[in-house]
Structure 1
Amino acid sequence: MTSLGTASAAPGEVDTGRLPIGETRDGARAGLPVCVINGAEAGKTLYIQAASDGDELNGVGVVRELVPQLDPTELSGTILVVGIVNVYGFRVAEHRNPIDDTKMNRAYPGDEHGTSSERIAAATFEAVQRADLALDLHQGSTSRMIHETRVRCGPRHHLHDECLSLAKTFDCGHVLDQKGPDGQLARAAPDEGIPTIDPELGGAVGLDPESISTGVEGVMNVLTAYGFLDGEITNGEQTRATGFEQYGAPAGGLVDFELDLGDSVERGDRIFRVTDAFGRVKAETTADVDGVFWRTRRLPQVATGEYVCSVGTDVDTV
């Protein structure tokens, strides 16, 4: 029997329940939706979580499509799923946890006696520590972004190669291999010996079917490659970036992009221009570096200095 919160499944079974995280402001018990998929045969344990940022819904879409597809009688090992981590942010469609105004993916490994976010992080991190590998499903918030997997432990970490291999197995086509900020799950879990990646499934308002499909396929790749499911996979060559160059607006107005997401960028290429409401060009911005056009704001209107887009830099293939 394998349990996560109130969910408990014998070999060959699936169960759902709640992982307690304390009480809400009206004194009601609060819990995260969780699922245990316990394979009929022994094997590894995979941990999956989604929506640690409350407005990043594509990961929830992946979980919603993935779980009904998995037959535990045909599975080896166990999958532990937290379907919505930042339940408070999710309920009000906000990125941060509104209880303590914290970005959840900066709170790991957490503190069971700490703030709301620290308690959620501690409860989920306890589950992570039971796993052999972990997937923390994200997206580029509501901006526009390519599909990528992020390796956040840093190139000098003793688990870097294992995390990079996991990212390549997920196979989004692009990898960001850059040490992340303190408090990220993909930083904290490798310190405990658990290879962990942060798939960023595009960027959308609401649910994006293409990104969700990419995420489901990525998880299935991992399940197959690591022995949870029978079969073989063949990963293609992926583009890796190890840095970012960000560009702000040199003038206020409306942005027109000259490139599509995923396009190669060469130093001197025009990236975008800013016009006024009457079509008069006020400013143009060119690339300072070679790289890949990685991410952009979603809405065209900008103020001077406001974020416009990012180029992935120091690019190679893996």
Structure 2
Amino acid sequence: MTITLGSASADPGELAVGRLDIGETRDGSRAGLPVAVINGASDGDRLYIQAVSDGNELNGLGVLRRIVPQLDPAELAGEILIVGIVNYHGFQVAEHRNPIDDRKLNRTFPGDSEGTASERIAAAVFETAKTADLILDLHQGSTSRMIEEVRVRCGRRHTLHSECLQLAKVFGCGYVLDQKGPEGQLARVAPDEGIPTVDPELGGSVGFDEESIQAGVEGVFNVLNHYDFLDGEAVTERQTRAKRFDQYGASAGGLVDYCVDLGDRVDEGDTLFEITDPFGEVKDSVAADNSGVFWRSRRLPQVAVGEYVCSVGTNVDSY
């Protein structure tokens, strides 16, 4: 059967690239998202992958640049549908949000074909995503420093929770955040359509980060092997799971010195960071409220009072 996504159309055993129309830009010209269709030579499930729904989160795009050239449709069972850059407008100016409507695109699913620019994009890609059997929505921790992790966003009472958790384990970054996501996230909305969906967060960087991209490449191939798109084996290992975040802000203005590294285990009362003045005098220190894993931190050292500094993943177990 011929598979079509936007202008990309592939018969069994073929790969095609093209554009998915999302309307007109401010000068009246048409805008299209880069898409790819990989139609396997034999029957199987359908995987949907997207990246850059946040315009400055590029590691997912780095993953797609690596995996697509490595995939031979003749060796593939089933179909892979890919949208390489979802937030077209944000990507053009390297901004997190869509500058056309100042919306965070990954809060707009399932979208609205007659709504704002972000809602129209979400509706266009969700039309394809909801035809899939599995969904990977590739992200990163914006430009903050963050461990590689996979987010399960459907909520632990959802009927598809175990399937989403298994998909996160197969992707295999080593860490999982198992916490219900905000309304409008693809990884929260798609399970309501019966589709196991996860949100791999591939570190955090400005531009591409090689280590995080490689983790994403390995994760995608784990999924392809485990779910029989490819004739290979995925090695699944126990994952460290956090069920919520504790977030910490600056108790004073100044410069941040971290006392722990990303991925470190911390106990309640451990010092997470100190704030100094420009000459190194310590103004305050902030300790962990609960035991957990040091998960994420801001990249720049300077902070104003109350500004976000870091996060600790808590309620930690393994599975």
TM-score by length of 1: 0.99
The residue type equivalent to 2:47 in the other structure is L
Task: Give how far 1:198 is off.
Answer: 0.2
Matched, 1:303 2:316: no
Q: Which residue in 1 is equivalent to 2:316?
A: 315
Please give the per-residue CA displacement for 1:186-206, whole angstroms capped at 9, x wherever unaligned: 011000001000000000000
Please give the per-residue CA displacement for 1:75-103, whole angstroms capped at 9, x wherever unaligned: 00000000000010000000000110000
CA distance in structure 2 between the partners assigned to 1:158 and 1:205 by the alignment: 37
CA distance in structure 1 between the partners assigned to 2:298 and 2:89 by the alignment: 25
Q: Unpaired runs of 5+ in structure 1? A: none
Secondary structure of 2:111 counterpart: coil
Q: Which residue in 1 is equivalent to 2:181?
A: 180
CA distance in structure 2 between the partners assigned to 1:48 and 1:262 by the alignment: 27
CA distance in structure 2 between the partners assigned to 1:234 and 1:218 by the alignment: 10
Q: Which residue in 1 is equivalent to 2:252?
A: 251
Q: Which residue in 2 is equivalent to 1:240?
A: 241
Task: Give how far 1:250 is off.
Answer: 0.9
Matched, 1:161 2:176: no
Question: Where do residues 220-231 of structure 1 align in structure 2 (5 Å cutoff)?
Answer: 220-231=221-232
Task: Give how far 1:212 is off.
Answer: 0.4
CA distance in structure 2 between the partners assigned to 1:263 and 1:144 by the alignment: 14
Q: Which residue in 1 is equivalent to 2:31?
A: 30
Q: Which residue in 1 is equivalent to 2:147?
A: 146
Secondary structure of 2:215 counterpart: helix
Task: Give how far 1:67 is off.
Answer: 0.2
Determine what percentage of the aligned residue pairs are the same residue: 70
CA distance in structure 2 between the partners assigned to 1:289 and 1:167 by the alignment: 25
Secondary structure of 2:231 counterpart: coil
CA distance in structure 1 between the partners assigned to 2:122 and 2:235 by the alignment: 34
Task: Give how far 1:58 is off.
Answer: 0.2
The residue type equivalent to 1:236 in the other structure is E
The residue type equivalent to 2:147 in the other structure is I
Question: Where do residues 44-123 of structure 1 align in structure 2 (5 Å cutoff)?
Answer: 44-123=45-124
Q: Which residue in 1 is equivalent to 2:281?
A: 280
Q: Unpaired runs of 5+ in structure 2? A: none
Q: Which residue in 2 is equivalent to 1:292?
A: 293
Task: Give how far 1:150 is off.
Answer: 0.2
Alignment: residue pair count: 318
Question: Where do residues 202-221 of structure 1 align in structure 2 (5 Å cutoff)?
Answer: 202-221=203-222
Please give the per-residue CA displacement for 1:116-173, whole angstroms capped at 9, x wherever unaligned: 1011000000001110000000000000000000000000001000000000000000
CA distance in structure 2 between the partners assigned to 1:163 and 1:80 by the alignment: 19
TM-score by length of 2: 0.99
Matched, 1:7 2:43: no
Please give the per-residue CA displacement for 1:196-225, whole angstroms capped at 9, x wherever unaligned: 000000000000010000000000000000
Task: Give how far 1:234 is off.
Answer: 1.8
Secondary structure of 1:100 counterpart: coil
The residue type equivalent to 1:127 in the other structure is T
CA distance in structure 1 between the partners assigned to 2:317 and 2:50 by the alignment: 29
The residue type equivalent to 2:170 in the other structure is T
Secondary structure of 2:280 counterpart: coil
RMSD of equivalent CA atoms: 0.5
The residue type equivalent to 1:106 in the other structure is R
Q: Which residue in 2 is equivalent to 1:265?
A: 266
Task: Give how far 1:227 is off.
Answer: 0.4
Task: Give how far 1:233 is off.
Answer: 1.7
Secondary structure of 1:14 counterpart: strand
Please give the per-residue CA displacement for 1:291-317, whole angstroms capped at 9, x wherever unaligned: 000000000001111110000000000
The residue type equivalent to 1:301 in the other structure is Q
Secondary structure of 2:222 counterpart: helix
Please give the per-residue CA displacement for 1:260-287, whole angstroms capped at 9, x wherever unaligned: 1000010011110011111111111111
Task: Give how far 1:231 is off.
Answer: 1.5
Secondary structure of 1:32 counterpart: strand
Q: Give every structure 1 segment of 4 or more consecutive aligned residues whose post-TM-superposition deviation is greater than 2 Å.
A: none
Task: Give how far 1:232 is off.
Answer: 1.4
